[in-house]
Amino acid sequence: MKKPSLHPLTWWIWSGLLAIAVVRFQSTALTLLCVGAVAGLVFWLREDAPWGRSFSWTLKLAIWILLIRTVIGMLIGVPIPGNTVLTLPIVQLPSWMPGIRIGGAVTSERLTSAISEGILICAIILIFGAAASLTSPHRLLRTLPVYVYEFGVSIVIATSALPQLVTAASRIRQAQLLRGQSLRGFKSWKRIAIPLLEESLARSLDLAAAMDSRGYGISSKRSRYRPIKWSFLDSFVIISAIAVVGVS
């Protein structure tokens, strides 16, 4: 089946609406359902392009954030009464910090609240990550009006650099593995980050120079070769998202 081609703004508006809905749900189950649907949609619709592959990285990031958020939520915060699951040692805080404590009894209520808050944050990250991986940054640029020229250049550089960074990172990782370096710890992070940063800088400069020499921003008006049209399918996607917000 041919994948439908949508207006580049559609998925971003859709993400915004879904994020509102997820915040209003106040229900972990519904949020998870929503994230599941979004992930399914991404794996079905994404193109075989650098930005299409960025979603799995967003997924990893979200899982990390969930873990960290849960641990912090268990350690720090206002005590919530309930069934104690385990008790951690309490750190004594000065008297001018009433109501806050670090450590202490971890109740099951507290655990669920920490996890559900973490899931909410991750859900929002994933929803916007989905929009980023479903929309080509180049096509997005084409919808921008020319009078935001300088802004447009920085946007295209940022958005096209990020997914390409993902591909470059895995290539550099591979090269470092071949040098026989272990890829654990802070030092290995530096080993990948430095060549990556250099490459993305060079790449961005190349792109900016190419855009400049092809007359980007020269004319205050800009014609469209094949204008990006808002189609029925776009409206359908947006209306479905509005419906979800309405239900929440």
Partner 1 sequence: MIKFSNVSLIYPNSTTTVLEDLNLEIAEGEMVLVIGPTGSGKSSLLRLINGLVPHHTGGILAGDVSVDGLSTQLVKPGGLSHLIGIVGQNPLNGFVTDTVEEELAFGMENLNLPNDFMRKRVEEILDLLSLAPLRNRTIATLSGGEQQRVAIGAALVMHPKVLVLDEPTSALDPIAAEEVLSILQRLVHDLSLTVVIAEHKLERVIQFADRIVYINGQGETKIGSTEQIMIDSPIAPPIVELARALGLQEIGTTVREMRRMTQDLRDKKYQSVEPKNSSSKSLRIKIDSLSVSYPGHVAIKNFTTNISSNEIVALMGRNGAGKSSLLKAIAGISQHNKGTVDVSGVDPQSLKGKSRRESIGYISQEPSDLLYGQSVSSECEQADSDNEVKPGTTAALLEQLVPGVSGHTHPRDLSEGQRLGLALSVVLSSNPQVLILDEPTRGLDYQAKRELLSILVSFAKRYDKCVVLATHDVELVAELATRVIFIADGEKVADGTTLDVLLSSPAFAPQVAKVMSPHPWLRVRDVTAAIEIS
- Contacts to partner 1 by CB under 8 A: 47-50, 136, 138-139, 141-142, 156, 171-172, 174-182, 190-192, 194-195, 198-199, 202-203, 206-219, 221-226
Strand partners, 91: 102
Task: Say how far apart CA 128 and CA 20 lie, in whole Å.
Answer: 12
> Hey, what amino acid is at 234?
D
What's CA 111's distance to the chain center, in Å?
Answer: 25
**Number of Cβ atoms within 10 Å of the Cβ of 178:** 8
The CB-of-228 to partner 1 minimum distance in angstroms stands at 10
Nearer CB in complex with partner 1: 30/161: 161
To partner 1, the closest distance from the beta carbon of 131 in angstroms equals 17
Residues 27/248, Cβ–Cβ less than 8 Å = no
Nearer to partner 1, 113 or 231 (CB): 231
Beta carbon of residue 140, minimum distance to partner 1 (angstroms, whole number): 11
- Select 103 or 217, whichever has its Cβ closest to partner 1: 217
Q: Is the dihedral of CA 163, 166, 168, 171 positive or negative?
A: negative
Neighbours of 24 (CB within 10 A): 14
**Of the two residues 31 and 136, which places its CB atom closer to partner 1 in the complex?**
136
Question: What is the closest distance, in whole angstroms, from the C-beta atom of residue 129 to partner 1 in the complex?
Answer: 20
